[in-house]
């Protein structure tokens, strides 16, 4: 893939095969690579998901990318990057395929209720401040996921939902541009606008959810997300709970 033509003026590296684009971007970060460095691969041999899971994608079927950021933020502001990446991806999916993409807190991208993509943000910090952040996106584009028993029940791809093959390169360009726009909102002091847009794309909102957290199981109604991206849930006792890490299972709509 000719990334120089697709993203003129940007440090952008393409690999037919790589271990993990996130690992490579972190290595580049430690060697001083600049803000906005983009790593794209056709295939990963050690793709990683959240919570230590694997990320599976046959060669040439998906969008597998990582972007390196160096914002002058504290670590508590870093969730904005996940917001920018998932919202930008949802907007680009809509623009290129016409499909309505929704976001499942904290980092999944859904189409028609099934997972089509995920974000993995990894941070390097010095004290309270970020020294870098790498945000990785895996998106199932032209892939019959029903042939992969591990994910067949819960996942989908854009080609399955659109019932036609998708222009992967056009989508990649649209995603990177849309994510850049969302990130620029934060840099210009409009992160509240980003949070509001992100919340409107959130599939989890107003639903009864169960979340497995390190401190135990929380069940209740998802009310919204705060500025740091934490999910706000009213539990069965009417108490507000603030969830920062966990896996959400949606039980019902309201
Ligand atoms: C998740 O849903 O758990 C997050 C998945 C993130 C996968 C992407 S693929 C590109 C980048 N490189 C990786 O190793 N992981 C992310």
90 neighbors 102 (Cβ within 8 angstroms): yes
Under the banding of pLDDT at 50, 70 and 90, the label for residue 252 is: low
149 neighbors 142 (Cβ within 8 angstroms): no
Which one is predicted more confidently, 205 or 213?
205
Task: Tell me the per-residue pLDDT of 73-88, one tens digit each, with 9 for 90 and over.
Answer: 998 899 999 999 999 9
Q: What is the pLDDT of residue 245?
A: 85
Q: What is the pLDDT of residue 250?
A: 81
> What is the overall mean pLDDT for the chain?
94
Residue nearest to atom 5 of ligand 1 (CA): 49
User: CA 99, 100, 106 angle in degrees (round to 5)?
Assistant: 125
Residue nearest to atom 16 of ligand 1 (CA): 136
User: CA 205, 211, 214 angle in degrees (round to 5)?
Assistant: 140
Of the candidates 143, 157, 84, the one whose C-alpha atom is nearest the C-alpha of residue 114 is 157
243 neighbors 230 (Cβ within 8 angstroms): yes
Residues with beta carbon inside 6 Å of ligand 1?
20-22, 44, 47-50, 53, 55, 64-66, 107-108, 118-120, 136-138
Question: Looking at ligand 1, which atom is closest to the CA of residue 118?
Answer: 2
Residues paired with residue 136 on neighbouring β-strands, in sequence order: 66, 120
Q: How far apart are CA 105 and CA 83, in angstroms?
A: 10
For residue 221, is pLDDT > 90? yes
Q: How far apart are CA 133 and CA 48, in angstroms?
A: 16
Task: Tell me the per-residue pLDDT of 117-168, one tens digit each, with 9 for 90 and over.
Answer: 999 999 999 888 999 999 999 999 999 999 999 999 999 999 999 999 999 9
CA of 165 relative to ligand 1 center, distance in Å: 22
End-to-end CA distance of the chain: 45
91 neighbors 80 (Cβ within 8 angstroms): no
Q: What is the pLDDT of residue 165?
A: 98
Assign residue 206 a region: left if phi > 0, alpha if psi is -120 to 50, beta otherwise? left
Of the candidates 177, 84, 211, 214, the one whose C-alpha atom is nearest the C-alpha of residue 222 is 211
CA of 240 relative to ligand 1 center, distance in Å: 31
98 neighbors 171 (Cβ within 8 angstroms): no
């Amino acid at each position: 893939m000719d990334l120089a033509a697709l993203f003129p003026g940007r440090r952008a590296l393409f690999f037919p095969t790589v271990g993990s684009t996130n690992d490579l971007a972190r290595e580049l970060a430690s060697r001083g690579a600049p803000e906005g460095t983009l790593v794209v691969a056709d295939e990963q041999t050690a793709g990683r998901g959240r919570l230590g899971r694997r990320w599976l994608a046959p060669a040439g079927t998906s969008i597998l990318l990582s972007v390196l950021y160096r914002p002058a933020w504290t670590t508590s502001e870093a969730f904005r990057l996940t917001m920018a990446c998932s919202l930008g991806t949802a907007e680009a999916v809509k623009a290129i395929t016409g499909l309505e993409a929704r976001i499942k807190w904290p980092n999944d991208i859904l189409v028609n209720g099934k997972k089509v993509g995920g974000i993995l943000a990894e941070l390097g910090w010095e004290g309270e401040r970020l020294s870098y952040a790498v945000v990785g996106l895996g998106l199932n584009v032209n892939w019959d996921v029903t042939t992969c028993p591990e994910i067949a029940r819960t996942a989908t791809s854009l080609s399955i939902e659109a019932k036609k093959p998708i222009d992967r390169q056009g989508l990649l360009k649209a995603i990177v541009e849309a994510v850049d726009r969302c990130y620029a909102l934060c840099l210009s002091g409009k992160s509240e606008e980003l949070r509001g847009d992100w919340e409107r794309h959130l599939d989890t909102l107003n639903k009864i959810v169960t979340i497995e957290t390190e401190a135990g199981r929380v069940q209740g109604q998802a009310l919204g997300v705060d500025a740091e991206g934490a999910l706000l849930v009213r539990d069965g006792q009417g108490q507000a709970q603030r969830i920062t890490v966990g896996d959400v299972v949606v039980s019902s709509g309201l």
